[in-house]
C-alpha cells in the first residue's frame, strides 16, 4: 500500500498509525460522562522470543500511564515506559552535544557548498562547535549553514510514546490487548426541546455528544457510552469552596425502568456502528426523538431569606414535563443540557435558554428554568421587623408582583430561609409549607396588572 522511501531503522517493534506494523487491530472505547474513557486496543503483536521492546505510538496523548495494562499470552512484562521526550530541533541539538555532526556552508554569493565535520560543544543560548582546530558559534555571522545529524536519538519521538518491554516465551504473532484510561474523551447528552405555546406541548430530541480532545484520533472504534459517574478519587475532596445551591431541576424522581441496556446501575448507550472519533472532533448521535409531550410553562420566584430585594427582580421562566412512559418522554435521560426553542411570530424557532439536567430516571418530573421573565417581576420588601419577646422576631413581608404581559399569569412564590423555626402568623393568601425551610404561595397576577401578598413571620434568632 505505502512504499517507504526510506527504510525505518529502528530496533523495536512499532505499533501505530505509521509506520504500519500491524493493521489487524480493533479498538473498543468505553466513554464515561465525566471526561474519562477506557480504551481497549486488540491487536496481534509479533514476538521475536526473548527480550523485546514494543512501542505503541497512537495511544491517547493524555493517557494515564499508571492505568496501562497489556494482556497477552506467552509474554512477561518487564517494564512499561511512557516517554514524553519529544523530538524537536532544540532537543536534537542538545542530544548531539559531544557528538559529531556534518555542517554544510552555503556561500550566499556563489551558492557553492562546503562540507565539514563539527563537534558540538554546548547549546546554552547558542550552539558552540569545534570545527577542526577552531571554536565557532553556529551561524554567528548569519550566513546559511545546514546542520545534518546522522540519526535521531533513540528515546526522542514525534509524540508521547508508550513502550512496553516484554520477555516473550516464544516467537510468532500473539493476540494482545492494550487497555488504559484517558481523559479528553467525554460525552454528554444534548437535548433540543421545541415548546409549542398554542397547545403547551414540547418536541424533544436527544443527542449523544461525544468530544475528543485527547490529541489522538481513534479509527473505526466500537464505542460504548456509559451514563452514570464512576466514583473517582479526588485530590481535593472539599471541592472549590462555597457555591450557591443551584435550583433543583428534578421535581419528582421517577420509579419506572425502561428497555435501555444496563450494567449495574449504569445505563449503556452502545453506538450502532463502528465510528471514527477524530481528534478535536465533536460527534453527535441521536438517541431520542419524541413529539407532542404535554408540558407546562410557569413562573417561579425564590426569595432566599426574609429580606428586601434591591429592586423588582424578574421571576424565573420555568417549564415542567414528565419523563414517564404514558404522559412524557418515556425514557431515562442521561445528564446533559436541554436547550429550549420557541417559534417567533414568523414561525422561525428561536433559542430561549437552556438548563442542565442530571441523570434522570424514567417517570420523573422535571422542572427546568430557562431564564428570567422580562415582564413578570417581584419586589420583596421587609415592611417591619420587631422583637417579639425573648429571642423572637416578627417580620412583616410584602411581595409586590407585576405582570406586563397581556395575559394573566400565576407565580410560584417561594420564601426560603425559614429554617424550620419560623412560623407564619398571618398571611393574605394561604400558603403551603413545602418543607420546614420553604413556604409556597401560588399568586395570580392579572394581565397588565399587579398583585400584592403580605405575610407575617415569627422566627427565633
Partner 1 sequence: MRMLPRPWLLAAALAPLQANAADVNAGPPTALSVSLYRAGTRAAEALELDRLRGFALVSERRQVRLPAGESRIRFGGVADGIEPASTIITGLPAGVLEKNEDAQLLSPAALVAQMLGREVVLVRTQPRTGVVTRSPGRIRSATDGIVFESTEGIEALRCSGLPETFSFSAATELSATPTLSVLVRSGAPATATITLSYLAHGFDWTADYVAHLSPDGTTMDLGAWVTLANANAVSFPSAQAQVIAGRLDRYADRDVAVPVAKPIIAQCWPRGTTTDVAAASSLANGAPPYRLEQSIGIADVRDMPVAPASIARLVEEEQLGDLKLYRVPQRTTLTSRQIKQVRLLEQAGVPVQLIYGADLVANQDRPWLTAAKTLRTKNDKAHHLGLALPSGRVASFLSRGNTLLLLAQAPLRDIAVGEQFEIGVGESADVQLRSTRGPDAVNRVEIHNARSSALAFELRLRLDPGSQLIAADHPVRTRHGQPVFEVQLPAEGHAIVRYQTGQPRQH
Positions 154 through 183 that interact with partner 1 (CB under 8 A):
156-159, 175, 177
User: Which listed residue (30, 52, 163, 211) binds partner 1 by CB under 8 A?
Assistant: 211
Q: CB of 256: closest distance to partner 1 in angstroms?
A: 27
Positions 300 through 319 that interact with partner 1 (CB under 8 A): 308-309, 311-312, 314, 317
Positions 410 through 439 that interact with partner 1 (CB under 8 A): none
Positions 82 through 121 that interact with partner 1 (CB under 8 A): 86-90, 92-94, 102, 104, 106-111
With H, G, I as helix, E, B as strand and everything else as coil, classify residue 238: coil
Residue 332 in contact with residue 258, Cβ under 8 Å? yes
Q: Which is nearer to partner 1, 157 or 451 (CB)?
A: 157
Query: If binding is defined by CB under 8 A, does position 127 make contact with partner 1?
Result: yes
Residue 173 in contact with residue 46, Cβ under 8 Å? yes
The stretch among 67-75, 152-160, 236-244, 429-437 that binds partner 1 (CB under 8 A) is 152-160
Query: If binding is defined by CB under 8 A, does position 379 make contact with partner 1?
Result: yes
User: Which listed residue (121, 325, 335, 382) binds partner 1 by CB under 8 A?
Assistant: 382
Name residue, grid cell 414561525: 347
User: Which listed residue (52, 60, 123, 322) binds partner 1 by CB under 8 A?
Assistant: 123
State which H helix or E strand residue 95 sits in.
Answer: helix 89-95
Q: CB of 364: closest distance to partner 1 in angstroms?
A: 20
Q: CB of 326: closest distance to partner 1 in angstroms?
A: 26
Q: Which is nearer to partner 1, 362 or 443 (CB)?
A: 443
User: Which listed residue (179, 196, 402, 454) binds partner 1 by CB under 8 A?
Assistant: 402
The closest alpha carbon to 94, from 131, 144, 128, belongs to 128
Measured CA to CA, the distance from residue 200 to residue 193 in angstroms comes to 12
- Strand 185-196 relative to strand 250-252: parallel, antiparallel, unpaired? unpaired
Measured CA to CA, the distance from residue 262 to residue 357 in angstroms comes to 20
Radius of gyration of the chain (CA): 34
User: Which listed residue (27, 373, 418, 445) binds partner 1 by CB under 8 A?
Assistant: 373
- Strand 185-196 relative to strand 423-427: parallel, antiparallel, unpaired? unpaired
Positions 254 through 283 that interact with partner 1 (CB under 8 A): 273, 275-276, 278-283
Q: CB of 98: closest distance to partner 1 in angstroms?
A: 15
The stretch among 66-74, 122-130, 237-245, 253-261 that binds partner 1 (CB under 8 A) is 122-130
Q: Which residues of 301-319 are buried (b: 16+ CB within 10 A; e: fewer)?
A: bbbeebeebeeeeebbbbb
The stretch among 164-172, 212-220, 232-240, 252-260 that binds partner 1 (CB under 8 A) is 212-220
Angle in degrees, CA 441, 403, 354, rounded to 5? 80
Q: What are 434's three cell numbers?
A: 413545602
The torsion defined by the Cα of 218, 223, 229 and 231, in degrees rounded to 10, comes to -70
Measured CA to CA, the distance from residue 278 to residue 424 in angstroms comes to 60
Amino acid at each position: 500500500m505505502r512504499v517507504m522511501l526510506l527504510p525505518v531503522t529502528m530496533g523495536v517493534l512499532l505499533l501505530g498509525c505509521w509506520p504500519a506494523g500491524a493493521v489487524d487491530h480493533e479498538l473498543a472505547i468505553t466513554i464515561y460522562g465525566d471526561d474519562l474513557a477506557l480504551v481497549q486496543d486488540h491487536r496481534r503483536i509479533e514476538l521475536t522470543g526473548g527480550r523485546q521492546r514494543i512501542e505503541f505510538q497512537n495511544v491517547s496523548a493524555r493517557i494515564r500511564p499508571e492505568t496501562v495494562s497489556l494482556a497477552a499470552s506467552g509474554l512477561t512484562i518487564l517494564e512499561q515506559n511512557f516517554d514524553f521526550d519529544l523530538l524537536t530541533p532544540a532537543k536534537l541539538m542538545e542530544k548531539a552535544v559531544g557528538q559529531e555532526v556534518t555542517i554544510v556552508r552555503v556561500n550566499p554569493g556563489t551558492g557553492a557548498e562546503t562540507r565539514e565535520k563539527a563537534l558540538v560543544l554546548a547549546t546554552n543560548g547558542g550552539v558552540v562547535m569545534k570545527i577542526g582546530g577552531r571554536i565557532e558559534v553556529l551561524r554567528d555571522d548569519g550566513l546559511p549553514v545546514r546542520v545534518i545529524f546522522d540519526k535521531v536519538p533513540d528515546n526522542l519521538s514525534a509524540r508521547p510514546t508508550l513502550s512496553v518491554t516484554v520477555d516473550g516465551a516464544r516467537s510468532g504473532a500473539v493476540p494482545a490487548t492494550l487497555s488504559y484510561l484517558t481523559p479528553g474523551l467525554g460525552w454528554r447528552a444534548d437535548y433540543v426541546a421545541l415548546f409549542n405555546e398554542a397547545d403547551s406541548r414540547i418536541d424533544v430530541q436527544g443527542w449523544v455528544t461525544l468530544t475528543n480532545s485527547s490529541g489522538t484520533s481513534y479509527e473505526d472504534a466500537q464505542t460504548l457510552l456509559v451514563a452514570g459517574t464512576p466514583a473517582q478519587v479526588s485530590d481535593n475532596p472539599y471541592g472549590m469552596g462555597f457555591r450557591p445551591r443551584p435550583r433543583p431541576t428534578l421535581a419528582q424522581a421517577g420509579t419506572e425502568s425502561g428497555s435501555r441496556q444496563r450494567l449495574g446501575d449504569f445505563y449503556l448507550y452502545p453506538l450502532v456502528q463502528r465510528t471514527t472519533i477524530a481528534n478535536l472532533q465533536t460527534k453527535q448521535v441521536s438517541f431520542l426523538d419524541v413529539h407532542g409531550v404535554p408540558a407546562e410553562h410557569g413562573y417561579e420566584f425564590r426569595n432566599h431569606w426574609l429580606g428586601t430585594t434591591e429592586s423588582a427582580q424578574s421571576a424565573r421562566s420555568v417549564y415542567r414535563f414528565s419523563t414517564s412512559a404514558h404522559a412524557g418522554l418515556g425514557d431515562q435521560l442521561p445528564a446533559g443540557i436541554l436547550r429550549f426553542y420557541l417559534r417567533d411570530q414568523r414561525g422561525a424557532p428561536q433559542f430561549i435558554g437552556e438548563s442542565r439536567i442530571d441523570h434522570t430516571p424514567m417517570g420523573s418530573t422535571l422542572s427546568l428554568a430557562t431564564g428570567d421573565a422580562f415582564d413578570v417581576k417581584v419586589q420583596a420588601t421587609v415592611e417591619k421587623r420587631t422583637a417579639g419577646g425573648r429571642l423572637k422576631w416578627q417580620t412583616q413581608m410584602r411581595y409586590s408582583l407585576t405582570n406586563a404581559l397581556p395575559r394573566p399569569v400565576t407565580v410560584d412564590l417561594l420564601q426560603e430561609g425559614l429554617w424550620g423555626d419560623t412560623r407564619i402568623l398571618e398571611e393574605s393568601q394561604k400558603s403551603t409549607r413545602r418543607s420546614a425551610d420553604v413556604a409556597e404561595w401560588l399568586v395570580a397576577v392579572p394581565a397588565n396588572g399587579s398583585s400584592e401578598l403580605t405575610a407575617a413571620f415569627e422566627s427565633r434568632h
